[in-house]
Chain A
Amino acid sequence: MLKLISLVMAVIVWGLLSLTLPHEIFPGPIETTRTLWGDIAGGEVWTDLVMTLLRVAGGLVLALILGVPVGVVMGLNRRAEAVLDVWVMIGLTVPSLCYAIMAFIWFGLNEGAAIVAIAVTAAPSITINIWEGVKNVDTKLVAMARVFEASRPAIVRRVLLPQILPYIMASARFGLGIIWKITVLVELIGRPNGVGFKLFYWYQLADMRQVLAWTLLFTIIMLLIEVLILKPIERRVFAWRPQVAV
C-alpha cells in the first residue's frame, strides 16, 4: 500500500516538475504514457525490447560465470585473495565505456562482443559480493561435516553452497541493475537495435517524449522482473529462514 502511494506521489511530482519547462523538453506523465502507448500499439517496441533483454540475460549469465568462481577462490584461499584483490579493484575502476570500446574493436560489432563487454563490467561487483559471502561461511559447520566423514564434494554442495547461495542471489539481483545500465550504453555505441540504440536515436532527434517513453518502458519491465521472477525465487529458496520481526 505504501509502495503504491509513493508511486502515485512520484508521478504527481513528475507532473508538477514538467510544468516548469516547455513540454517538448520535459513532457509530463500523461504525454509520456500516451507516446509509449502509441509505440506499443504500433508494434515497433518488441524487437528492441527483446534484443535488450536477451543481452541483459546473456550478460548476467556470463558475469556470474566469471564473477562467482573468482569470488569463491578469493574467499577460500588467502594467497589468491592477495593476488586478485588488486585486479578486482582495477576491474571495478575501469569505466564500462572502455570495456565496450575494446570489445567492439577487438571482437567486432557483434552480439558476442556486446555480451562480453557487459559481463566484464559487471563481474567485479559480483566477485566482491561472493568473496565477502565465502569469507562469512561458518567453518564450524564444515568441521561438523568432516566429523561425519562427508566427502569434499558433499561438503561443497550441501554445506558451503547453501551458505553462499544468499550472496549469489543478492549479486544476481544487484548485478541485474548494473547490467541493464551497461547494456544501454553498449547498445548506444555498437548495436543497431535495442533500448539504448532507440534512446540515442531519439536523443539525436531531440524528441524528449520518446526518450522518456523508452525510459519508462524499461523501468516498468525491470520492476516486473523483480516482482514476478526474482522475489518468488528468493522466497522459495530461503523458505527455511526465520522471519525477523523488528
Chain B
Amino acid sequence: MNSVIEVAALRKTFKGHDGTSRAVLKNLDLTVGAGEFLCILGPSGCGKSTLLNVLAGLDKVYEGRASVSGGRVGYLFQEPRLLPWLTANGNLDFALASCKVPTSRWSELKSRYLAMAGLSEFRDYYPHQISGGMAQRLALVRALCVEPGILLMDEPFSGLDEITARRIRSDLLAIWRETRKTIVFVTHNAYEACFLADRILVMSGGAFQHEMRVPIARPRSYDDPAIFTFSRDVIKAFGDEIERDPVPSAATESGSVNNLDRHTAARMNI
C-alpha cells in the first residue's frame, strides 16, 4: 500500500496573548496509506484539529514536514458550514466551481452523491430549511462531489443527535466502501472510532500515545458486540494513558478524562 499522507517531525506552537508559547503538536510522525480509514482519537484540546488544518493546507506555519499526495483534499468540519444564501444545489455548485471541476461533469457528480446521501429531493432547499443531520450529510456530499483523493473529517458527527449520527456513520462506511477514499477522521468518541476505522491513533497532549489496528471484519454492524468490547478496551487502556499524561498542558486535559468516561457511559446505554 503506497502512502498518501506523510508527516515527519511535525511541530507547531501557538503564542499566547501573554507572550508564552505552548506546543500543540510535538514531533508528530504519521503515514497514511491510500484507501485507509484512519481515526485519530483524543480529548478536545489535544491538537487533533490543528493537525487536520495543517494537512488541509489551512495552516501553513509549522516546523517539520507534512506532505499530502493522492489528489485533492476534501474536508468535513464539525459544523456543516453551508452558505446560507445558497440552496443545496447552489452550495454544491460553489464547491465544484471553486475546485474548477469541468461544468460538463457537475450534474452527474451532484446526482450521484446526493443519491448516495439520500438527499436527491432536497436540491432546492436552503440550509435553514433542512435538519442538522441533513445539513451535515449535504456537507458530506459537497466534500465528495469534488472527488477528493483524501477526506479529512473533524468530529463531523459530534454535534448531531445519536440516532442521526449512527445513520450517517453507516452511510459514510457504505460510501467509503464504494469510493475507497483515504479518510482521516478525528473524534473524541471511542466507539465511533472503533466502528469506522482500520487503525486508531490515540492522541493526547500534542503527541500520538498509542496505535491500534481494529481487528473487526467488514462490513461492520453498529450493534456488533465485538465493537463494544473493543471500544471498552481502547478506553480502558487509553483513558489511563491520558490520566497519566506527563504534561497536563491545560485544564481541558483533566476534563478530557471525564469526557471519555461520559462517552463510555453513553455507550453503555445503547
Give me the interface of A with B, judged by CB distance under 8 Å.
140-141, 143-151, 154, 158-159, 162, 240-242
The A-contacting residues of B in range 61-103, CB under 8 angstroms, are: 72-75, 77, 79, 81, 83-86, 94-95, 97-100
B146 in the interface (beta carbon within 8 A): yes
The A-contacting residues of B in range 159-217, CB under 8 angstroms, are: none
- Chain B contacts for A154, CB-based, 8 A: 97-98
Besides A145-B98, A240-B84, 15 new A-B residue pairs in contact (Cβ under 8 A), listed by A number: A140-B79, A144-B75, A147-B57, A147-B58, A147-B74, A147-B75, A148-B95, A148-B98, A148-B99, A149-B98, A149-B100, A158-B83, A162-B85, A240-B126, A242-B126
Proximity bits, B239-262, A CB within 8 Å = 1, else 0:
000000000000000000000000
B220 in the interface (beta carbon within 8 A): no
- Chain A contacts for B56, CB-based, 8 A: 147
- Chain B contacts for A158, CB-based, 8 A: 83, 94
Q: Name the prevailing secondary structure of the B interface residues.
A: loop
Nearest 7 pairs between A and B by C-beta?
A150-B98, A148-B98, A144-B81, A147-B75, A242-B128, A240-B85, A162-B85
Q: Which residue of B lies closest to A148 (CB)?
A: B98
B126 adjacent to A140 (CB under 8 Å): no
- Chain B contacts for A242, CB-based, 8 A: 126, 128-129
Cα of A143 to Cα of B76 in the assembled complex, Å: 11
Q: Which residue of A lies closest to B86 (CB)?
A: A240
- Chain B contacts for A148, CB-based, 8 A: 94-95, 98-99, 146
- Chain B contacts for A240, CB-based, 8 A: 84-86, 126
A162 adjacent to B83 (CB under 8 Å): yes
Give the most central of A140, A147, A241, A242: most B CB within 10 Å.
A147
Q: Which residue of B lies closest to A158 (CB)?
A: B94
Q: Which residue of A lies closest to B73 (CB)?
A: A147
- Chain B contacts for A150, CB-based, 8 A: 94, 98
Cα of A149 to Cα of B72 in the assembled complex, Å: 9
Q: Which residue of A lies closest to B127 (CB)?
A: A240
A144 adjacent to B77 (CB under 8 Å): yes
- Chain A contacts for B126, CB-based, 8 A: 240, 242
Q: Which residue of A lies closest to B129 (CB)?
A: A242
Cα of A159 to Cα of B94 in the assembled complex, Å: 10
Cα of A158 to Cα of B98 in the assembled complex, Å: 10
Cα of A154 to Cα of B100 in the assembled complex, Å: 12
The A-contacting residues of B in range 123-162, CB under 8 angstroms, are: 126, 128-129, 146
B98 adjacent to A140 (CB under 8 Å): no
Cα of A149 to Cα of B143 in the assembled complex, Å: 12
A146 adjacent to B58 (CB under 8 Å): yes
Cα of A144 to Cα of B94 in the assembled complex, Å: 11
- Chain A contacts for B98, CB-based, 8 A: 145, 148-151, 154
Q: Which residue of A lies closest to B59 (CB)?
A: A143
The A-contacting residues of B in range 96-130, CB under 8 angstroms, are: 97-100, 126, 128-129
B77 adjacent to A149 (CB under 8 Å): no
Identify which of A140, A151, A241 contacts B77 (C-beta below 8 A): A140
Shortest CB-to-CB span from B168 to chain A, Å, is 19
Q: Which residue of A lies closest to B96 (CB)?
A: A148
Cα of A162 to Cα of B128 in the assembled complex, Å: 16
Shortest CB-to-CB span from A125 to chain B, Å, is 26
Give the most central of A149, A159, A241: most B CB within 10 Å.
A149
Give the most central of B73, B79, B94, B126: most A CB within 10 Å.
B94
Q: Which residue of A lies closest to B100 (CB)?
A: A149
- Chain B contacts for A143, CB-based, 8 A: 58, 77, 81
Q: Which residue of A lies closest to B79 (CB)?
A: A140
Give the most central of B79, B84, B100: most A CB within 10 Å.
B84
A149 adjacent to B83 (CB under 8 Å): no
Cα of A64 to Cα of B207 in the assembled complex, Å: 51
User: What would 20 A/B residue contacts be, using CB atoms closer than 8 Å?
Assistant: A140-B81, A141-B81, A141-B83, A143-B58, A143-B77, A144-B77, A146-B57, A147-B73, A148-B95, A148-B98, A148-B99, A148-B146, A149-B98, A154-B98, A158-B83, A158-B94, A159-B83, A162-B85, A240-B126, A242-B126
- Chain A contacts for B57, CB-based, 8 A: 146-147
Q: Which residue of A lies closest to B56 (CB)?
A: A147
Cα of A4 to Cα of B246 in the assembled complex, Å: 72
Shortest CB-to-CB span from B209 to chain A, Å, is 28
